[in-house]
Structure 1
Amino acid sequence: MHQGVRAILSLVGFLALVPVLPGQARPAPQVRYAQALPGQEALLRLADRLRRLDEDGLDPRAYGIPPDSQSRADPAGWQAALLRASLAALTDLLHGRVVELPNRPDIRRDTAAVPLGPWLAELQAAPEPATVIDRAALLPPEAPALKRALALARARVAAGGFPPVPSAGPDTLEPGMADPRVPLLRARLAFTDPQVPRSGDDTYDDALVAAVRRFQAAEGLEADGRIGRITFAALNRPAEIAVRQLRVALDMRRAAAAPPAERHIEVNVPHQRLTLEEGGRTLLDMAVIVGKPARATPMLRVRLNAVQFNPQWGVPERNAREDLLPRFRRDPRAMMEKGFRVYSWVDGQRVEIDPTTIDWASVNPQRFPYVVRQDAGEINALGRIKFIMPNTEDIYMHDTPDRHLFRRPDRAFSSGCIRLERPMELLDAVLQGVPGWDRARADRVLASRVTTGVALPHSIPVRLHYTTAVVERGEVRLRPDLYGLDEAYARAMDSGRTRVASAGPR
Structure 2
Amino acid sequence: MEAPGGLAPPAGLPAVPGTVPGATDALLRLVDRLLRLEEDGLDPRHYAIPDSTLAAADPAAFRIALHQASAAALTDLLLGRVRDLPGRPDLRRDPSAVNLQAWLAELAATPDPAGLLDRAALLPREAAALKAELARQRQVAARGAFTPIPGEATIDPGDQDPIRVPLLRARLAVEDATLAAAPDAGSRYDTVLEAAVRRWQLANGLEVDGRVGRISLGLLNRPLGDRIDQLRVALDMRRGAGTPPPGRRVEVNVPDFRLRVMEGDRELLGMAVIVGQPARATPMLNVRLTAIQFNPPWGVPERNAREDLLPRFRRDPQAMMDKGFRVFSLVGGERMEIDPRTIDWSSINGRRFPYFVRQDASDFSALGRIKFIMPNGEDIYLHDTPDRHLFRRPDRAFSSGCIRLERPNELMGVLLEGTPGWSLARAERMLASRATSVASLARSLPVRLYYETVVVEAGGRVRIRPDIYRLDAAYARAMVAHRPLVAGMNRPQLSAR
| Length-normalised TM-score, structure 2 | 0.90
| Letter of the 1:341 counterpart | R
Distance 2:485 2:382 in 1: 41
Distance 1:167 1:367 in 2: 38
Higher mean Cα deviation, 255-264 or 297-306? 255-264
| Letter of the 1:318 counterpart | R
8 A Cα contact 1:150 1:243, kept in partner: yes
Correspondence 1:207 to 2:189: no
8 A Cα contact 2:182 2:192, kept in partner: no
| Letter of the 1:131 counterpart | G
Residue 102 of structure 2, aligned match among 118, 128, 131: 118
Distance 2:150 2:208 in 1: 18
1:350-389 superposed matches below 5 A:
350-389=335-374
Structure 2 unmatched runs, 5+: 1-20, 490-497
Correspondence 1:50 to 2:34: yes
Give, in angstroms, the shift of residue 331 of structure 1. 1.0
Distance 1:153 1:194 in 2: 13
Distance 2:252 2:258 in 1: 6
Q: Deviations over 1:2-41 (max 9, x none)?
A: xxxxxxxxxxxxxxxxxxxxxxxxxxxxxxxxxxx97622
Higher mean Cα deviation, 229-238 or 207-216? 207-216
Residue 499 of structure 1, aligned match among 461, 479, 485: 485
Higher mean Cα deviation, 222-231 or 397-406? 222-231
Distance 2:283 2:26 in 1: 48
Q: Deviations over 1:407-427 (max 9, x none)?
A: 000000000000000101101
Task: Name the residue aligned to 2:174.
Answer: 191
- Give the number of equivalent residue pairs: 466
Distance 1:293 1:241 in 2: 18
Distance 1:310 1:446 in 2: 6
Give, in angstroms, the shift of residue 286 of structure 1. 0.7
8 A Cα contact 2:372 2:383, kept in partner: yes
Alpha-carbon distance change, 279 to 413 in structure 1, aligned in 2, over 3 angstroms = same
Task: Name the residue aligned to 1:144.
Answer: 128
Correspondence 1:176 to 2:158: yes
Correspondence 1:128 to 2:151: no
Give, in angstroms, the shift of residue 502 of structure 1. 5.8
Give, in angstroms, the shift of residue 228 of structure 1. 1.8
Q: Deviations over 1:312-337 (max 9, x none)?
A: 00000110111111111111111111
RMSD, matched Cα: 1.8
Distance 2:488 2:54 in 1: 26
Give, in angstroms, the shift of residue 70 of structure 1. 1.4
Task: Name the residue aligned to 2:138.
Answer: 154
Distance 1:318 1:198 in 2: 52
8 A Cα contact 1:88 1:501, kept in partner: no
Correspondence 1:287 to 2:309: no
Correspondence 1:489 to 2:470: no
Distance 1:217 1:341 in 2: 44
Distance 2:253 2:102 in 1: 34
Distance 1:199 1:491 in 2: 41
Task: Name the residue aligned to 1:479.
Answer: 465
Distance 1:215 1:443 in 2: 42
Structure 1 unmatched runs, 5+: 1-36
Question: Which SS does the other structure have where 1:77 is aligned?
Answer: helix
Distance 1:492 1:176 in 2: 45
Question: Which SS does the other structure have where 1:192 is aligned?
Answer: coil
Q: Deviations over 1:413-461 (max 9, x none)?
A: 0000000001011011011121121122111111111000000010011
8 A Cα contact 2:22 2:55, kept in partner: no
8 A Cα contact 2:23 2:56, kept in partner: no
Distance 1:434 1:207 in 2: 56
Task: Name the residue aligned to 1:320.
Answer: 305
Question: Which SS does the other structure have where 2:256 is aligned?
Answer: coil
Higher mean Cα deviation, 41-50 or 245-254? 41-50
